[in-house]
């Protein structure tokens, strides 16, 4: 049998119902013989409805009087329609959830009144609304019939036996995860307007299902954004590294530059240090550009310390090439064997000083330039700095002071001489001091024309120094000492008998033994030969050609060698 206008579940009040929102249910009780609604017939609960009730809504079993009253109340909505077998009314168990409903414990009136059918029959309404009221539901535009107040409750009170339905985890409802839709929150107006069946039944789960989809969709979007960002970032980094490697060369200038500038490269400086100095001076644009250019040049690692005249704004490649060109170096190069007098002149010229300035500084400040203690142990020494302006390349830039340049040279000599036990070696070789060992080295440097002869020349010096030798009787007889004493450089120093009459502490034709000090600045090879002379009985030697030096033991043999030399020089 079909029920008119009603469904199995509860129905909310229609917003336009004139009785919508009326809160007078709790304090009013139906009088005997009156139906709850004035124009509404009492609804009959079918047996099949029993199965549609929620399991948790079994509270009605605690109030048997409700069930008894419903059972005794006759209902005949269609006049001749018999009752359904005195079947207990299942009713609306939610009514017992209200505290106010305690007044109904006496039950609904069990009188024998029958519910009025729909066919226009007048029925009695709820107390407080009169017995004769307008039928709001008898017209085509009628609102849905109202329900007792208990059915508008959303959450039932828990009875001792009632077990709440296991709630599903609440999903994140932040607008970011729910696509900005804030209307799906529980308790919103839409929720209140929904029928109870839709919230408790399948449709309610549908709404939560949709909410879950929104949350999952938001998180999925977030994951995609993160993954995409990481992908783009990783690709960007790889691309940047590739660009830097292939195209991102260090900043560099183009061309050979313009404004000249002097830069000083210290001893032992490597590519990075040199690049930094050049970049600071404005020669190259970046340190990295110079290092790269130096590595690309096969001779780039041979750049030496010194002062270079370069241009500002040069490309790194041009800077490297210029530094490998000797003409760009402003270093003062001291050749092996040069005397101090020559060195002083070169410093004056380089610093654009008056001639003799450096010589005066050297004489006045000799003891302040860092000479070792054993450097000045002879009373007749001509120049204490002789032999200590070590042959090398020195940076001498404009504006430098002569004493600073001399100090660098003495420091370099101390470094090189300090590599050897000069005192111990001097004693081993029959010399009195390290200074005499340097003096021997200076003689080897001056007398030996070619380095491959230095070892034998050193042996000649040591042999002649022997006082009991029967060839020279302790005289060295070196022309180089005469030239030093006379501040000259010539091969024709005069006849031996005249040289013996030249009285000078450095004239070895006149004095026995070594001069008071070195006669020049020996280099590494000469010092090595002075320390390691080749064993042999020679007292004489003459260099005929570059590849031929004749050594002799006796003076007669030496005279024969000299004739060969003279013949070679005359070209015959």
In contact, 118 and 38? CB cutoff 8 Å = no
* Phi/psi-derived region of residue 194, left when phi > 0, alpha when psi is between -120 and 50, beta in every other case: beta
Which is it for the CA torsion 173, 174, 177, 179, positive or negative?
positive
pLDDT band at 94 (very low <50, low <70, confident <90, very high): very low
Nearest 5°: CA angle at 109, between 48 and 66? 45
Of 80-84, 255-259, 506-510, give the lowest mean pLDDT range. 80-84
User: pLDDT band for position 147 (50/70/90)?
Assistant: low
pLDDT digits (tens, 9 = 90+) for 399-409: 899 999 999 99
Q: What is the structure's pLDDT at 17? A: 54
More confident residue, 241 or 81: 241
Which pLDDT belongs to residue 194? 47
Pick the closest to residue 342 from 362, 329, 359, 354 (CA basis): 359
Q: What average pLDDT does the segment 470-498 reach? A: 94
Residues 6 or more apart from 298 whose CB is under 8 A from it? none
Length of the chain: 572
Confidence at 283, pLDDT banded by 50, 70, 90: very high
Q: For the domain 260-329, what is the CATH code?
A: 3.30.1490.480
Nearest to 91 by CA among 113, 112, 69, 116: 69
Range with top average pLDDT, 102-106, 199-203, 464-468: 464-468
Could you tell me the pLDDT band of residue 396, with boundaries at 50, 70 and 90?
A: confident
For residue 25 the two structure tokens come to 């249910």
Q: Please report which confidence band the pLDDT of residue 89 belongs to, taking 50, 70 and 90 as the band edges.
A: very low
> Domain coordinates of the chain in residue numbers?
1-161, 260-329, 342-417, 422-570
What mean pLDDT is predicted for residues 101-129? 44
475 pLDDT exceeds 60? yes
Answer whether residue 65 shows pLDDT above 60. no
170 — pLDDT class (breaks 50, 70, 90)? low
The CA-based dihedral angle spanning residues 557, 559, 560, 566, taken in that order and rounded to the nearest 10 degrees: 150
Give the containing element (helix H, strand E) for 549.
Answer: strand 548-552
**Parallel, antiparallel, or unpaired: how do β-strands 548-552 and 540-545 relate?**
antiparallel
Token reading at 248: 């991102």
Give the per-residue pLDDT at 118.
44
Measured torsion, CA atoms of residues 509, 515, 518, 519, in degrees rounded to the nearest 10:
-30
Among 72-81, 136-145, 401-410, the minimum mean pLDDT is found in 72-81
Reduced 3-state DSSP string for 20-78: CCCCCCCCCCCCCCCCCCCCCCCCCCCHHHHHHCCCCCCHHHHCHHHHHHHHHCCCCCC
Query: Cα Rg for the chain, rounded, in angstroms?
Result: 61
If one compares 303 and 38, the residue with the highest pLDDT of the two is 303
Mean pLDDT is highest, among 15-19, 59-63, 217-221, 516-520, for 516-520
In this predicted structure, the answer to whether residue 107 has a pLDDT above a threshold of 90 is no
What is the spatial distance between Cα 183 and Cα 191, in angstroms, rounded to a whole number? 9
Statement: residue 255 has pLDDT above 70:
yes
pLDDT at 29 over 70: no
What are the tens digits of pLDDT across the range 494-510? 999 999 999 999 999 99
pLDDT of residue 474: 95
Confidence class for position 130, pLDDT limits 50, 70, 90 = very low
How many other CB atoms are found less than 10 A from the CB of residue 240?
11
Residue 229 binned pLDDT confidence (cut-offs 50, 70, 90): confident
Taking Cα atoms as reference points, which of 373, 374, 370 lies closest to residue 390?
A: 370
Comparing 109 with 331, which gets the higher pLDDT?
Answer: 331
- Judged against a pLDDT cut of 90, whether residue 426 lies above it is answered with yes
User: If pLDDT is split at 50, 70 and 90, which confidence band does 233 have?
Assistant: confident
Between 24-33, 261-270, 330-339, 376-385, the lowest mean confidence (pLDDT) is in 24-33
- Tens of pLDDT, residue by residue over 349-384, are 999 999 999 999 999 999 999 999 999 867 899 999
Q: In the prediction, which pLDDT does 54 show?
A: 42
């Amino acid at each position: 049998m079909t029920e008119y206008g009603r469904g199995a579940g509860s129905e909310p009040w229609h917003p336009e119902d004139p009785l919508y929102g009326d809160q007078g249910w709790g304090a009013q009780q139906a009088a005997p013989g009156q139906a709850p609604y004035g124009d509404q017939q009492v609804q009959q609960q079918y047996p099949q409805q029993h199965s549609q009730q929620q399991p948790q809504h079994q509270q009605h079993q605690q109030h048997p009087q409700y069930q008894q009253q419903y059972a005794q109340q006759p209902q005949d909505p269609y006049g001749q329609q018999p009752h359904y077998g005195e079947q207990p009314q299942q009713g609306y168990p939610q009514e017992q959830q209200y505290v106010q409903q305690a007044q109904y414990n006496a039950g609904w009136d069990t009188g024998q009144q029958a519910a009025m059918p729909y066919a226009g029959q007048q029925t009695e309404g709820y107390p407080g609304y009169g017995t004769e009221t307008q039928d709001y539901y008898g017209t085509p535009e009628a609102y849905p019939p109202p329900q007792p107040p208990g059915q508008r409750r959303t959450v039932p009170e828990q009875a001792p036996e009632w077990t709440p339905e296991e709630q599903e985890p609440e999903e994140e409802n932040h607008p970011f995860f729910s696509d900005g839709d804030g209307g799906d929150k529980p308790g919103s107006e839409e929720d209140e307007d929904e029928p109870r069946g839709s919230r408790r039944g399948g449709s309610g789960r549908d709404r939560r299902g949709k909410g879950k989809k929104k949350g999952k969709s938001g998180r999925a979007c977030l994951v995609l954004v993160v993954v995409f960002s990481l992908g783009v970032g990783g690709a960007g980094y790889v691309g940047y590294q590739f660009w830097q490697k292939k195209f991102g060369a260090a900043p560099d200038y183009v061309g050979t530059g313009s404004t000249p500038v002097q830069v000083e490269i210290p001893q032992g400086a490597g590519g990075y240090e040199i690049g930094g100095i050049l970049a600071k001076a404005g020669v190259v644009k970046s340190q990295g550009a110079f290092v790269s250019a130096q590595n690309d040049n096969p001779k780039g690692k041979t750049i030496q310390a010194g002062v270079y005249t370069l241009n500002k704004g040069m490309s790194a490649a041009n800077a490297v090439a210029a530094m490998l060109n000797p003409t760009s170096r402003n270093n003062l190069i001291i050749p092996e064997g040069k005397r101090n007098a020559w060195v002083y002149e070169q410093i004056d010229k380089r610093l654009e000083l008056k001639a003799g300035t450096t010589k005066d500084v050297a004489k006045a400040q000799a003891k302040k330039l860092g000479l070792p203690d054993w450097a000045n142990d002879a009373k007749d020494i001509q120049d204490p700095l002789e032999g200590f302006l070590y042959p090398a390349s020195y940076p001498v830039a404009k504006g430098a002071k002569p004493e600073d340049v001399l100090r660098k040279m003495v420091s370099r000599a101390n470094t090189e001489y300090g590599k050897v036990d000069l005192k111990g070696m001097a004693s081993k070789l029959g010399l009195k001091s390290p200074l005499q060992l340097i003096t021997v080295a200076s003689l080897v440097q001056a007398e030996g024309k070619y380095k491959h002869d230095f070892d034998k020349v050193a042996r000649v010096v040591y042999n002649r120094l022997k006082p009991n030798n029967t060839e020279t009787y302790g005289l060295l007889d070196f022309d180089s000492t005469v030239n030093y004493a006379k501040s000259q450089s010539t091969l024709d120093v005069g006849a031996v008998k005249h040289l013996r009459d030249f009285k000078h502490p450095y004239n070895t034709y006149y004095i026995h033994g070594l001069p008071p000090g070195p006669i020049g600045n020996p280099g590494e090879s000469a010092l090595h030969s002075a320390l390691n002379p080749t064993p042999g009985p020679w007292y004489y030697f003459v260099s005929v050609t570059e590849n031929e030096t004749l050594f002799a033991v006796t003076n007669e043999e030496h005279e024969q060698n000299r004739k060969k030399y003279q013949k070679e020089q005359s070209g015959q």
